[in-house]
Amino acid sequence: MEHLIGQLKALAEPTRLRVATLLALGELTVSELVQVLGQSQPRVSRHLKLLTDAGLVERQPEGAFVFYRLVSAGPGQRIANVIGDLTPPDDPVLKRDLDRLATVKAARAAAAESYFQRANEDWNRIRALHLSEDEVEAAMRDAAGSGPFQLMIDVGVGTGRILEVFADRVTESVGIDVNHAMLNVARLNLERAGLTGASVRKADVSALPFDDGVADLVTVHQVLHYLDDPAVAIAECARVLKPGGVLLIADFAPHQLEFLKTDHAHRKLGFSDEEMTEWVENSGLEMRRRSALHPEEPENRLTVKIWSARRTPVRASQPPVSARDLTA
């Protein structure tokens, strides 16, 4: 009861209620809230701290940036879920806030789209080397199974497309990436798609910001070939899976297109079934399914491989290998 009273007290101040209402519409930084509210940075930061201390707001560091959002779990979740519905839509102050928010989000979208246009040229060159994305996505959905999945983690979220692909089977999804500009592209796309249960955050696959055994589905789409040590990434993905959880990997079969290393920063020229199975099993998972999507003209083209593995019950005598064990 005392905790609930504290949360209600935190909201019983006009500016903090405005902040909570804005965050109900998506993640925002301090500087973006300053632009919307027309208040100083120290004052806005103070309001955010009080809302965070009350368990209504959480902060997500992203390099030099920090994004704030309403909590998605814990004692404050139920109140956070209804804040947007309780505030009067015809309030003149809130209407002004929403107009300013639209301007702020338009500027963010313009920056994201500018980055995406620059990066998209490289992606289109690579896409032309293999089957269409529609075929790859359909095969991924088939390999994952029908679910439903409570929590999905997408490693290397990119544009956010894989979160959209599985949205109808997932209650909550989180995409992680190390690229701040790419995260903003994903935010924009998820917002446009109306995926309120999806969010993104900055993190590295070698140290996922999640507890052990929390995810029902982990997807790794065209990420491993950029990594120096894919085995460590697979072990970390395995760590966060629940018993029965699914790890879904889409990447390339072994190939000889050396220009992908020199021109596109690929560290690995594809993966064999044997090495992928070894990494998966060393991480305490069971390889359940392997499939290959061959291009119509195989010469100088890429075959996309899809591997599906599942977390099996852990035996006391043989605990799963962790990412830390592999790097020791």
233 pLDDT exceeds 90? yes
The DSSP annotation for 42-90 comes to HHHHHHHHHHHHTTSEEEEEETTEEEEEE-SSSTTHHHHHHHHHHS-TT
For the domain spanning 129-327, the CATH number is: 3.40.50.150
Per-domain boundaries in the chain = 2-101, 129-327
DSSP 3-state of 221 = strand
Q: Tell which residue, 300, 280, 282, has the closest CA to residue 290.
A: 280
Token code pair at residue 128: 């032309």
327 pLDDT exceeds 50? no
- Mean of pLDDT values over 300-322: 73
Stated as kind and residue range, the H or E segment containing 325 is helix 323-327
44 pLDDT exceeds 90? yes
**Tell me, what's the pLDDT at 323?**
45
CB 22 within 8 A of CB 101: yes
CA distances from 4 to 7, 108, 177 (A): 5, 35, 35
**Tell me, what's the pLDDT at 313?**
63
- The residue ranking higher by pLDDT, 61 or 299, is 61
Residue 192 — very low, low, confident or very high, per pLDDT cuts 50/70/90?
A: confident
**Tell me, what's the pLDDT at 75?**
76
Q: Tell which residue, 106, 110, 75, 245, has the closest CA to residue 181.
A: 110
CA dihedral 37, 39, 41, 42 (to 10 degrees): -130
pLDDT, one tens digit per residue, over 76-129 is 778 877 887 778 878 899 899 999 998 888 877 776 566 555 555 666 666 666
**Tell me, what's the pLDDT at 119?**
58
For residues 165 and 40, what is the distance between their CA atoms, to the nearest angstrom?
A: 40
Q: Thinking of the domain 2-101, which architecture would CATH place it in?
A: Orthogonal Bundle (1.10)
**Tell me, what's the pLDDT at 128?**
62
pTM over 0.85: no
CB 220 within 8 A of CB 156: yes
- The residue ranking higher by pLDDT, 147 or 264, is 147
Residue 51 — very low, low, confident or very high, per pLDDT cuts 50/70/90?
A: very high
321 pLDDT exceeds 70? no
**Tell me, what's the pLDDT at 178?**
84
DSSP 3-state of 97 = helix
Of 113-127, 190-204, 261-275, 303-317, where does mean pLDDT reach its minimum? Answer: 113-127
- The residue ranking higher by pLDDT, 116 or 197, is 197
10 Cβ contact list (under 8 Å, min separation 6)? 16, 50, 51, 53, 54, 56
pLDDT, one tens digit per residue, over 2-30 is 778 888 888 889 999 999 999 988 888 89
236 pLDDT exceeds 90? yes
